[in-house]
Structure 1
């Protein structure tokens, strides 16, 4: 029998040991954070695949969230983020102030916000009114009935007509396309986490996409219309193949680590991180 070189033998042993440590039944707890407040949030503009940096308030939110999680002794085995700068900036600030600055963040485009096509960066009021008009409702009526599916599908229909006159953006996604990418992203997140034996995972994403994810993982539950605040935590547990909702729009960690409004921000918190991250 041919012997492997010592170096390759050790490498093979590492992979065998890692595979043996994987537990397909291990519980996984996912802490899903909405990113901190951005400049487009502050100006009340549509922000999907377009991006804006965190405002000073948004940076404080991310730092406060990290501090609050640290106070509760919450440490993560893995961290994931949308590849949008606002989400990655939130993730890195959170981890830096949770005592886990060296934990790599795996960025994944599949956890992005909805894509709004030609409506990106326009006033939210313009988008909302167009959707209400499409449904022949007043804006006030529509706001009481809107769901993530209706929202995405109506924008996709409206954007098709707008793209004919101005086809210079990615077209808006319908709800099926959004849920397909979220499902794919979540399947890979769970697979990687199980290979590491389960445990707590951080995922930083976006308001509507988090709601769509809840709609996907918790079918039939009326949780997908909750307005999620910046730097809120929505917590899921995967147990015996079933997802359980533990918390939604939870602000207790943010409040527990709250920075005073006049606290000076670290110099390196202003720009989004530029360190090499694991990507999909």
Structure 2
């Protein structure tokens, strides 16, 4: 799994779930650098969310790959970032303050340290005046459909590699769920960073996180 390259909303510290902003020059370089790191990894399949920041990153990584027979990724809304509802485009620190401060947890870090990333989703939905933001159950119902796309792909066999380009909170959510507490999930992984998940039957294990 790769987090997409840096975007303008990343620079501006804005929540960017289903909303989208373009890759910066640095973000394009993130994708190129990661593509160079993965250039000799043979991928049987590739997936990404349907945001342009993820699609652009995935396409640039595949363009650098010298050993895979893949031109484009499978694009799916199931791999989108969490939907932040009313808080889309809001300053991240302000949004998490509004969600957590009434419960004595004024920052994203404090929510995760005292509760979980799943709880952060629930608190943000509760704070959303329209209640459009995804809560934890809604989020996983969608993401699980994306994971099923990979698991049910008959062209993927034991030992094969799959590329998935996704998002910061999605990576954190997967690592929290399948990382067995080995990794720090209080801060977002770097743009272009690599996280490795091992699929075995119905089990998923995170074996590396935020490799840069």
TM surpasses 0.5: yes
User: Please, which of 166, 173, 183 is the counterpart of residue 134 of structure 2?
Assistant: 173
User: Please, which of 117, 121, 131 is the counterpart of residue 89 of structure 2?
Assistant: 121
Q: Distance in 1 between matches of 2:199 and 2:38?
A: 20
Aligned residues: 208
Q: Distance in 2 between matches of 1:137 and 1:196?
A: 43
Matched-pair contact (CA < 8 Å) for 1:37–1:54: yes
User: Please, which of 32, 36, 39 is the counterpart of residue 67 of structure 1?
Assistant: 36
- Unpaired runs of 5+ residues, structure 2, are none
Matched-pair contact (CA < 8 Å) for 1:92–1:101: no
- Aligned residue for 1:269? none
Whether 1:49 and 2:18 are equivalent positions in the alignment is: yes
Q: Distance in 1 between matches of 2:110 and 2:20?
A: 29
Whether 1:131 and 2:99 are equivalent positions in the alignment is: yes
Secondary structure (helix, strand or coil) at the match of 1:155 reads helix
Secondary structure (helix, strand or coil) at the match of 1:87 reads helix
**Deviation of the 1:178 alpha carbon:** 0.6
Q: Distance in 2 between matches of 1:236 and 1:97?
A: 22
**Deviation of the 1:247 alpha carbon:** 0.9
What is the CA deviation profile of residues 218-267 of structure 1, one whole-angstrom value per residue up to 9, with x for unaligned ones? 2754547253111111101123543232211111xxxxxxxxxxxxxxxx
- The structure whose RCO (Cα within 8 Å, separation 6+) is larger is 1
Q: Distance in 1 between matches of 2:46 and 2:7?
A: 21
User: Please, which of 203, 209, 212 is the counterpart of residue 173 of structure 2?
Assistant: 212
Q: Distance in 1 between matches of 2:155 and 2:118?
A: 33
User: Please, which of 28, 38, 45 is the counterpart of residue 78 of structure 1?
Assistant: 45
- Aligned residue for 2:116? 147
**Deviation of the 1:135 alpha carbon:** 1.2
**Deviation of the 1:152 alpha carbon:** 0.5
Q: Distance in 1 between matches of 2:163 and 2:179?
A: 22
Whether 1:105 and 2:53 are equivalent positions in the alignment is: no
- Aligned residue for 2:198? 237
Matched-pair contact (CA < 8 Å) for 1:51–1:84: yes
**Deviation of the 1:115 alpha carbon:** 0.5
Normalising by structure 1, what TM-score? 0.68
- Aligned residue for 1:12? none
Q: Distance in 2 between matches of 1:56 and 1:187?
A: 34
Whether 1:195 and 2:155 are equivalent positions in the alignment is: yes
| Gap change, CA 1:138 and 1:114, over 3 Å in 2 | closer
What is the CA deviation profile of residues 96-152 of structure 1, one whole-angstrom value per residue up to 9, with x for unaligned ones? 122358523100101100101111011112102112322134447447436311211
| Gap change, CA 1:212 and 1:141, over 3 Å in 2 | closer
Regions of 4+ moved over 6 Å: none
Normalising by structure 2, what TM-score? 0.88
Secondary structure (helix, strand or coil) at the match of 2:47 reads strand
Q: Distance in 2 between matches of 1:233 and 1:183?
A: 20
Q: Aligned-pair RMSD on alpha carbons?
A: 2.2
